Chains A and B, each alone.
Chain A
Amino acid sequence: MDSKRLLSGLILVAFLLGNAGISFAGDIKPNKKRGQVYFRMVCTVCHMQQAEKTIPPSSRTMKQWRAYFKADKHDVSGTTRSAVSYYMSRDYRVAIKDSNKAAKKFLKLSDEQINADVREFVIKGAKDSDTPASCN
């Protein structure tokens, strides 16, 4: 096996993967792992602090999550900003970048990209999915 060629192929894949967010809206490829990191380090960290609980992907069904993201209302109690998309936006990432490693690392990615990533992770980890996910 030609390991050099294989390696350069891999580097190319890694390159494409790393830059997926800078591509144009429309050909966004969701990255589940990035969604997981974002969900864990931005969403869950705040839920632990402000709501003293976690809201794992496995707490809802795929259908419920889809409806949740479509409605784009963040929480019924109304203690936080009203749209869940806000917490995935660049504005929010800029606001918390000094205290949040994930927000800082993903600062440049588009709102659509982070949205797609988080959604991918949450829906693939829903209660009725094949791989229900906790918050860790």
Chain B
Amino acid sequence: MKAEAVKADRQAGISRRGFLGLCAAMGTGAALQLRSFKAIGKNNDKPGSWSRGEVIPSTCNMCVNRCGIQCHVVNGVLEKIDGDYHNPKTLGGTCAKGQAGIMTLYDPDRIKYPLIRAGARGEGKWRRASWEEAYEYVADNLDKIMDKYGPEGLLWSSSTDLTEIFFLKLGVFLGTPNFARHATLCLASRNVGYFGTMGGVPDSDLANAKYIIMFGANRLESFELPYNRDLISGIENGAKLVVVDPRMTVTAAKGTWVPIKPRTDMALTLALMHVLIKEDLYDKDFVDKLTVGFDALKEHVAQYSPEWAEKETDIPARTIVEMAREMAVAAPAVVVFPGRRSSWYTNDTQFRRTLPMLMALLGAFDVRGGNFVNAGKVKLGEFDWEMAPFDVAPCVDGFDEGPFPLAAHDDGGYVMRRDAIIDETGKYPVRGWMIYKQNPLAAVVDGNRTLKMMEKMDFICSIDVQPSQTAWMADIILPETTYLERLDPIWTTGGKVKFISIRQPVVKPQGEARTILDIIKGIAAAMDKRRTFDPPMSKVFDFTMEDYVDKQLAPLPIDRKTLARQGIWMPGQQKWKLGAYRRGEKDFRTPSGKIEFVSERFRRNGYDPMPVYEPPAEEAGRQRLVTGRYAWFTHSANQNNRWLNAIHPENDIWINPDVAREKGIKDGGYVMVRSRVGKVKIKAYVTPRIRPDTVFICHGFGTNSAGQTTLYGKGGADQVLMESKADVITNNQALHETWVDITKV
């Protein structure tokens, strides 16, 4: 294995040491430097910083942000990935992950052939199968389950990406109503909170803001280049960045860290509103014209004084008053950052609601330096799908029928769905699980419970590029091509600038990996042999990715070949306009057409129409577990990437020095972490960068997959510790509702 790895390194044309040096120079280390960050752009102002070979523009896929990349290919080998300086959002930048895409492509651990389980589940015994055999195997199992339980006996899991549509369509055409998508693992609560207040989630003009407040959002380590560039510019232009977080993240280190007691964020936002109103600092004109329910809000927040909030949040009342005053001075150029990430607590939706409320009091919307609504995207042509069956069974758990009226029903509620399947409290049994581009064993709270759900399954198929934890427990793994080996549907994006970009193959696939569309076609044809569908499955997928892309591009004055050369295309008309809401030309997608301090949607569905604060439960002597990421990892996707893993081979648990002293824990020593549902052995990182009542574990470690040879045996899994809790309005899993005991080992 070692020799193979070295070979792969060499094949990739760059040594690991060289790569680490590169990353350090780019400032992707914990001490991310402003100046070096700017240098990314400067270094890439000119093309050809890697002079040899062919340069192919494409779109990165190492995280979800789709930065523009230039791939330097020499004799069919990808040697270097640079940022694409044509891309108007990423402007030639690319992060450590983006550059390490080479190692995801050439990872010796990659699955190169279909693998069928040859031992017990999770034992790691596999036999290589041909694609023909693999398709027959999958179809046989799907067919058996459909015979016995109907198509609703199938669970269909995937995460958002350009190619997800093909996988989803197979589930739709087979007739299952049971999907478990990304939303309730991530941002459902934020979406619904904003939806109930102002009809949607606004963008943020970070570059021109004078005051930026982020609640827990760790932008600089989530490494969303466009945002990061704007955030850095904003700070350089003199914006004050305030980060409210129990942990001092890299983002917090670049601004003012407000170490809030976890689960009390709503107390702070309510108190900020209290001060703004009491001291008459709010934007009356904005409130009059663009909001409803101010009088009720005024009455509601009268009870939430800074002195009261100090007791809840641990933030001095004086600081809260100062924050509110500083915001009011900076207003309307204030960004109240919506965040993007997972919900933390069971009250997340109501907390998120307070963010646009605060924004509205400051008049910080539809204005330079504030929040704004995306100016629209380039409209792509639509693919003409066959007509899908729609008279399908109701969802197994009734998710779409009542308990979560404001949730996005088609995405499913992960925690609720899992409970219904394990406990058999659903409407019928679910016995087959198709998983694409998702790693639920790592992604969902209480990993042991996800294992229990697997036990319920007669059949599990994982489509992945690597032997992830979930793939390792599957009955069959189908190897997908990486983003560097395939053509994807066109991506269209908006914000301050709108454009489209192409993701295209820069090298030939490794081994026998296939694109998801080809995989779906193979399964579809095998299903047609076993059952009659109207229309036949193979007819539904009777097209190529090139056909699909051509359809998308049809209305635009650019064709696929030209786009492949250019990487991106922008329409000439690019005016980023503000003020339409203020001038009354646009209204909000709420029942009143305005920003609602008192939410009509919440009211008519029986929720508190205004956010009501409830103090968190305390567990004396224990710590609240929080999670997050470092800049070089995306969820659990690339901890096994050898180059990225070299930056941070093993995760650790952040413990405050006072707590460590009390428990006799040394920095670098090992501890046992126990929660009500699991235990994990992990290295201690003793640091004042975290509150004494909180501990932090970086997500994505502690894999059970011996197939991930770089990662296996290193670090501990946060999700194994997390209790199965969810936000009460959306069923979005709540990641920060677990208390743990820590003991020295």
Contact = CB atoms under 8 A, between A and B. Distances in A.
B644 to A, nearest CB: 36
Contact of B390 (A36, A101, A128): A36
A77 B424 CA distance: 55
Contacts of A127: 589
Interface in A69-108: 101-102, 105
Contacts, number: 57
B601 A10 contact: no
Nearest to A135: B382
Contacts of A132: 199, 589
A3 B406 contact: no
Given A1-B424, A7-B150, A58-B589, A130 B390 contact: no
Contacts of B387: 37, 41, 101-102, 105
A10 B406 CA distance: 26
B405 interface: yes
A18 B428 contact: no
A48 to B, nearest CB: 8
A77 to B, nearest CB: 22
Interface string B147-160: 01110100000000
A13 B199 CA distance: 35
Given A130-B605, A132-B589, A33 B390 contact: yes
B428 A7 contact: yes
Given A1-B429, A33-B390, A128 B590 contact: yes
B662 interface: no
Contacts of B149: 3, 7
A124 B604 CA distance: 14
Nearest to B601: A130
B427 interface: yes
A33 B409 CA distance: 13
A10 B429 contact: no
Contact of B393 (A1, A14, A58): A14
A67 interface: no
Interface centre among B149, B199, B391, B428 (most CB of A within 10 A): B391
A127 B148 CA distance: 41
B386 interface: yes
B591 interface: yes
Given A130-B405, A130-B601, A33 B391 contact: yes
B390 A10 contact: no
A10 B589 contact: no
A3 B409 contact: no
Q: Summarize A's interface: helix, strand, loop or mixed.
A: helix
Nearest to B426: A1
Nearest to A1: B424
A58 B588 CA distance: 11
Contacts of A1: 424, 429
A59 to B, nearest CB: 10
Interface string B389-400: 011111000000
A1 B245 CA distance: 47
A125 to B, nearest CB: 11
Nearest to B409: A131
B391 A18 contact: yes
A41 B390 CA distance: 13
Interface centre among B149, B591, B604 (most CB of A within 10 A): B591
Contact of B148 (A3, A61, A101, A102): A3
A128 B593 CA distance: 8
Nearest to B390: A33
Interface in B150-197: 150, 152
Interface string B367-405: 000000000000000100011101111100000000001
Interface in B408-423: 409
Nearest to A41: B387
Contacts of B427: 6, 10
B397 to A, nearest CB: 14
Contacts of B394: 13
A60 B424 CA distance: 41
Nearest to A36: B390
Interface in A103-136: 105, 127-128, 130-132, 136
A3 to B, nearest CB: 6
A101 B405 contact: no
Contacts of B429: 1, 3
A51 interface: no
Contacts of A34: 390-391
A46 interface: no
A3 B390 contact: no
Interface centre among A3, A37, A41, A58 (most CB of B within 10 A): A3
A5 B164 CA distance: 35
Contacts of A131: 406, 409
Contacts of B150: 7, 10
A97 to B, nearest CB: 13
Contacts of B148: 3
A14 to B, nearest CB: 6
Interface in A9-63: 10, 13-14, 17-18, 31, 33-34, 36-37, 41, 48, 58, 61
Nearest to A4: B148
Given A3-B148, A3-B428, A14 B391 contact: yes
A115 B152 CA distance: 28
A101 B384 CA distance: 11
A128 B391 contact: no
A130 B150 CA distance: 31
Nearest to A53: B379
A130 to B, nearest CB: 6
B490 to A, nearest CB: 16
Contacts of B593: 128
A101 B424 contact: no
Nearest to A127: B589
A47 to B, nearest CB: 12
Contacts of A17: 391
Q: Sorted from nearest, which 4 A-B pairs have the closest CB atoms?
A: A128-B591, A33-B390, A101-B387, A6-B428
14 contacts: A3-B148, A6-B427, A10-B150, A10-B393, A10-B427, A18-B391, A33-B391, A34-B390, A34-B391, A58-B589, A101-B387, A128-B591, A131-B409, A136-B382
Given A34-B391, A130-B405, A136-B382, 14 more contacts: A1-B429, A3-B429, A7-B149, A7-B428, A10-B393, A17-B391, A58-B589, A61-B591, A105-B387, A128-B593, A130-B601, A130-B604, A132-B199, A132-B589
